[in-house]
Homo-oligomer: A and B are copies of this chain.
Amino acid sequence: MNRRELNAGALAAAAGLLNSGSAAAAEPSPQGSAARSGPLQIGLLMYPGFFAQDLVGPYTVFGNMPNTQVHLVSKTLGPVTAVPALTMHPTATYETCPRDLDLIMAPGGVESTVAAMQDPDLIAFVRDRGSRARFVTSVCTGSLILGATGLLKGYRATSHWLARDVLKEFGASYAPGRVVIDRNRITGGGVTAGLDFGLTVAGILIGKEQAEAIQLVHEYNPEPPFQAGSPETAPPEITARVRRIFAPSTEHMRLAAVRIAAQPGF
């Protein structure tokens, strides 16, 4: 087996070749922050019970960007089990993750996210890195974690469709859209929106042409076999049933948000 296959750099190295003869330049950051030297620094958060797809979708894109270091960040370097059950290893801790990130991303979950929103260490980490990062981002209910840090106050954002109404508790306003960009906050919809989010971000960070190459390498040419991907398009009885099943968890998210936003200093 080719040893390079085991590195995030494997396809990134290939993607790097895309630079050859290409005039594509990264677009300027919406916040116009000064360009850093060295590789792009990206931090993807891991916590017990996060949705594997929320992280793997964007990582599939970011892990193949040229001149990019991706850090999988958790409280410790111990294994973290996602949903569905998949035990993975972080590569950095809250302490060892670079202080200055180009992008930080929080994935979502269900009750696990309610717990993460109320984990002081996790929130302190995301608030700290987020306060300096060029881009503060999330996929799915990860936006509730951003909300809990206060970093979405006064911003438009999205979340998993079941959690849309929770955003306002944090002073954010829900905006429709698969990927919502408001200044340097970029939030994606539920779970699978992470692929659209990742490519959108890649377009901003490394330019459209390179993002298109990454899309082609991963044959992202989706053809869902059913029309049930959103509450607006799914059969109404399916939407009602899913809403009913998740009603307790949605209420847990809202109650946690209300509690967090009521804390002094929020």
Contact = CB atoms under 8 A, between A and B. Distances in A.
Interface string A179-203: 1000000000111110110011001
A157 to B, nearest CB: 15
Interface residues of A, number: 88
A111 interface: yes
Contacts of A123: none
A230 B234 contact: no
Q: Binding site of A, secondary structure by majority: helix, strand, loop or mixed? A: mixed
A26 interface: no
B228 A215 contact: yes
B192 A222 contact: yes
B112 A84 contact: no
Nearest to A60: B53
Contacts of A218: 53, 190-192
A137 to B, nearest CB: 15
Contact of A215 (B11, B56, B229): B229
A110 interface: yes
A48 interface: yes
Nearest to A86: B88
Nearest to A91: B85
Given A5-B110, A84-B64, A109-B5, A223 B196 contact: yes
Interface of A: 1-2, 4-8, 10-12, 14-15, 17-18, 48-49, 51-53, 56-57, 59-60, 62-64, 70, 72, 79, 81, 83-89, 91, 109-112, 115, 140, 160-161, 178-179, 189-193, 195-196, 199-200, 203, 208-209, 211-213, 215-226, 228-231, 233-235, 238-239, 241-242, 245-246
